[in-house]
Amino acid sequence: MRIAERIGNLPPYFFAKLGRRIAELKAQGRDIILLDIGSPDLPPPDFVVEAMYRSVRDPDRHGYGGYYGTPQLRRAIATYYQNRFRVTLDPDKEVATLIGSKEGIANIALSFVDPGQTVLVPDPGYPTYGMGTLLAGGVPVSVPLLAENGFLPDLEAIPAEVAQSAKLLWLNYPNNPTGAVASLEFFQRVVDFAKKYDVLVCHDNPYCDVTFDGYVAPSFLQVPGARDVGLEFNSLSKTYNMAGWRVGMAVGNAMAVEALARTKTNIDSGIFLPIQDAAAAALTGDQAWLERRNRIYQERRDRILETLQEIGIEASKPLASLYVWAKVPEGYDSGGFATRLLEEAGISITPGSAFGPHGEGYVRISLGMSTERIREAMGRLKQFVY
Ligand SMILES: Cc1ncc(COP(=O)(O)O)c(C=O)c1O
């Protein structure tokens, strides 16, 4: 029996591999503090859980969830975009519902990329942009995100022939893993680039509501012309602490929304109806709690930065996202530093190299762990001699 080349050639998903090593260490009785994966530790607000509970008790809410999402959820997504970004969306033509944004990120490649075609992917970046491209038979071309450019891609540095042959350009601000943010002025330059080279822009915005110090993250769709060239992916995972619920969206260009939805009708059968009902409640309900939740993350961020500074590790202060992006100490590569921390201090962080070659030299520390455990991890870090 032989597996398909398309799978055989894929590197294993980094977090799946790391998870196996952590399980081995735990089986040996070690206490491991997980600051690697970006999964919120806090629960969704009560009113969202209540909406789920009410719906799941309804005997009529247990059939297939519908290919396109309920009209109520699509309208709720449009309402959220209107209230949050002053972006008006047609819920029937410009909104696709997703079983978490990750599947949409992979499926958009199946919808737009033919074998051999290229996709511009940020490096470092969320691995699924490149993996989805590979699954579609496409070729990911890395676009470096460098500290000296504020971790924004230098669009002018992309050779014209590369830009001309590219089908998609992936962007993600607030950024995973660097925590960098982008301005509307930058997004305007992206629209100009996309028009010039006929590239579909896929902006991934799951951290838009995980922000600190009063920062308000924009939507790519706020920029004039964005809808002609782009799609924005978004998710309830980080905004509403609903990572395990699997609900997200792709919004914007109607043709791209239709192509993605058409692909998905052949692959999945929609989201469980009570989850759609709860998602609609989350998107249209009281948003004031987000500020309180973000203050908790901000306190964790500050605690981590304080410790890093004390022990001489360089890191900039992120205005958004669930991560601190820190330089590894001299004499280490990112994998070596992360491995020593895991094996010797029982702290699991992500080596920057898991996000692409330009992530080398950095590690990513997640804020999605209880404040108490983060304090404990920082105590261990201070004891750790590197
Ligand atoms: C940048 C980015 N995009 C997308 C996702 C996927 O989110 P979900 O599939 O939970 O919506 C993640 C998850 O960590 C992420 O960091």
Distance CA 139, CA 94 (A): 28
DSSP string, 35-101: -SS----SPPPHHHHHHHHHHHT-GGG-S---TT--HHHHHHHHHHHHHHH-----TTTSEEEESSH
The pLDDT value given to residue 235: 98
The pLDDT value given to residue 11: 76
Q: Whose CA is nearest to atom 5 of ligand 1?
A: 102
What are the beta bridge partners of residue 168?
119, 200
Per-residue pLDDT tens over the stretch 31-57: 999 999 889 999 999 999 999 999 999
**Strand locations in the chain (E):** 33-34, 95-98, 118-123, 139-144, 166-171, 200-204, 230-235, 248-252, 323-327, 347-348, 350-351, 362-366
Q: Determine what percent of the chain is predicted with pLDDT higher than 70.
A: 100
**Contact residues of ligand 1, CB 6 A cut-off:** 38, 100-102, 126, 172, 176, 204, 206, 235, 237, 243, 248
More confident call, 384 vs 145: 145
User: Above 80 in pLDDT, residue 9?
Assistant: no
The pLDDT value given to residue 133: 97
Pocket test for ligand 1, best of 13, 39, 98, 101 (most atoms within 8 A of CB): 101
Q: Determine what percent of the chain is predicted with pLDDT higher than 90.
A: 93
Average pLDDT over residues 52-70: 96
Pocket test for ligand 1, best of 126, 205, 350 (most atoms within 8 A of CB): 126
pLDDT band at residue 19 using 50, 70 and 90 as cut-offs:
confident
Distance 60 CA to ligand 1 centre (A): 31
Per-residue pLDDT tens over the stretch 173-201: 999 999 999 999 999 999 999 999 999 99
Q: Which residues contact 329 (CB under 8 A, 6 or more apart)?
A: 312, 313, 337, 386
Q: Which residues contact 139 (CB under 8 A, 6 or more apart)?
A: 116, 117, 118, 119, 133
pLDDT band at residue 100 using 50, 70 and 90 as cut-offs:
very high
Measured from the Cα of 175, ligand 1's closest atom is 1
Distance CA 368, CA 300 (A): 9
DSSP string, 126-161: -THHHHHHHHTT-EEEEEEB-GGGTT-B-GGGS-HH
Tokens representing 1? Answer: 């029996």
* Tally of CB atoms within 10 A around 294: 18
The pLDDT value given to residue 355: 96
Pocket test for ligand 1, best of 238, 245, 271 (most atoms within 8 A of CB): 238
Average pLDDT over residues 259-284: 98
Measured from the Cα of 105, ligand 1's closest atom is 4
Distance 102 CA to ligand 1 centre (A): 6
User: Above 90 in pLDDT, residue 305?
Assistant: yes
Distance CA 128, CA 339 (A): 23
**H-helix or E-strand spanning residue 329:** none
User: Above 90 in pLDDT, residue 205?
Assistant: yes
The pLDDT value given to residue 385: 75
pLDDT band at residue 16 using 50, 70 and 90 as cut-offs:
confident
Distance 206 CA to ligand 1 centre (A): 6
Average pLDDT over residues 66-90: 97
Pocket test for ligand 1, best of 235, 247, 251, 355 (most atoms within 8 A of CB): 235
Asked if 212 and 294 count as a contact pair (C-beta separation under 8 A), the reply is yes
Tokens representing 338? Answer: 């992360």
User: Above 90 in pLDDT, residue 15?
Assistant: no
Distance CA 163, CA 165 (A): 6
The pLDDT value given to residue 20: 87
Average pLDDT over residues 236-245: 98
Average pLDDT score over the chain: 96
* Tally of CB atoms within 10 A around 59: 6
Dihedral sign computed on CA atoms, order 146, 152, 154, 155:
positive
pTM: 0.96
The pLDDT value given to residue 247: 98
Distance 88 CA to ligand 1 centre (A): 24
Distance 312 CA to ligand 1 centre (A): 31
User: Above 90 in pLDDT, residue 347?
Assistant: yes
CA angle 279/205/229 to nearest 5° reads 110
Q: Whose CA is nearest to atom 14 of ligand 1?
A: 38
pLDDT band at residue 14 using 50, 70 and 90 as cut-offs:
confident
